[in-house]
Amino acid sequence: MVTVITAARKGVLSPMSADDQPRNLSDETKAVNPDGQVCDLSEDEKLSVDITSLRTVPKPRIWTALVVGMLAIILATIMATFVTLVAVIVDAGRETLAAPNLFFAWIQEFSSRPQGLIVLLLPGQVVFLIIALGAAWLSPVSVYERVGFVKGRLPILMWPLIVAGTPFVGWLAHLLLLALFDHTGEQLEMLDQMVGHQQGGALVLVFFLVAMMPGISEEILFRGYVQRRLLARLPVWAAIGISSSLFATAHMEPLHIIAVFPLGLWLGVVAWRSGSVILVILCHIMNNTLAIVSSQSGVGDVAHDGADPFPLIGLSLSGAFFLVALFCLGWTTRESVLPTSGTNDDRPV
């Protein structure tokens, strides 16, 4: 058997050049014979070139996306726990750690302060963002393309409709949780108290920590890096299901996981159909912003505030926008969410 050192015949499979572009085929193919001498290939030999000698493009790896997602959750949990322990020792003393009642009382009091919000909410989000951007930076493609920070396929005019329809998913999940368990869990209730007790200028900090930072860091990690890599190899339902499961697991408490899993599925579908993580960032920020408004006003619980018309009106309006959002997503074609280099969809913004 001979070893091809240039190209095969025109019309036959082409090896790849150093820049991963197919070489132009010609009849000037050279080979190395068993004696080590360079010689020309005959016509028959050109047609019987061993296909295994041609370079193939490797398939994208799945394990990197899974490792990055799970590693981010583990490291974020460790970082948040460590910062909280340091804060309680500095602010209340070591004896507080030995008494659970004192510890939980300290958490409630500490979370009512602006610095408490920063200590309790920011470290984990920073870890998510650093790991997502670090993994994307190590990728052979640009960071913008890897995490989906591109314009996508949907017209910009459709974006507000999809963003406005997103809170409907969160509200439905909230109502389902109340119907099944009659409460939303300690974590969500504590977060509701943390947000509801803030006043004045502290609300700007609340918006940054509860709405903006999670919307950016979690979407870049789970819908941007993880889901886009999974979509390159797995069926759509599997890629969205895995990324949504990781997203839900990151919220740790079982009831909180159940509450955010439907939202994760919705955001995964939006990211897949639109081809842009920017849109899901805006959707996530809108969902959390309305949760802040609900905690501040105390009128966001449709199930428990039946006499108040405002929650029902808000739910109805969001439901109408949700139906419109479904139509907008159905308008897109079933293409891969990964942008094609050189098209209008992969221009960074």
pLDDT in tens, 130-171: 999 999 999 888 899 999 999 888 889 899 999 999 999 988
Residue 74: pLDDT above 70? yes
**Which of 317, 236, 225, 222 lies closest to 273 in space, CA to CA?**
236
Please check whether residue 96 is in contact with residue 106, taking contact to mean a CB–CB distance below 8 angstroms: yes
Tell me the three state secondary structure of residue 341. Answer: coil
Residues 155 and 30 in one domain: no
| pLDDT level of residue 313 (50, 70, 90 thresholds) | confident
Q: What pLDDT is stored for residue 225 in this prediction?
A: 96
Residue 91: pLDDT above 50? yes
Range with the lowest mean pLDDT among 103-112, 118-127, 173-182, 334-343?
Answer: 334-343
Share of the chain above pLDDT 70, in %: 74
Please check whether residue 232 is in contact with residue 338, taking contact to mean a CB–CB distance below 8 angstroms: yes
Domain count, the chain: 2
Q: What pLDDT is stored for residue 327 in this prediction?
A: 86
Domain termination residue (choose one: 41, 57, 73): 57
Residues 121 and 208 in one domain: yes
| pLDDT level of residue 35 (50, 70, 90 thresholds) | low
Residues 2 and 85 in one domain: no
Q: pTM of the predicted model, to two decimals?
A: 0.78
Tell me the three state secondary structure of residue 38. Answer: strand
Residues 9 and 29 in one domain: yes
**Residue 30 belongs to domain spanning:** 1-57
Residues 2 and 138 in one domain: no
Residues 119 and 243 in one domain: yes
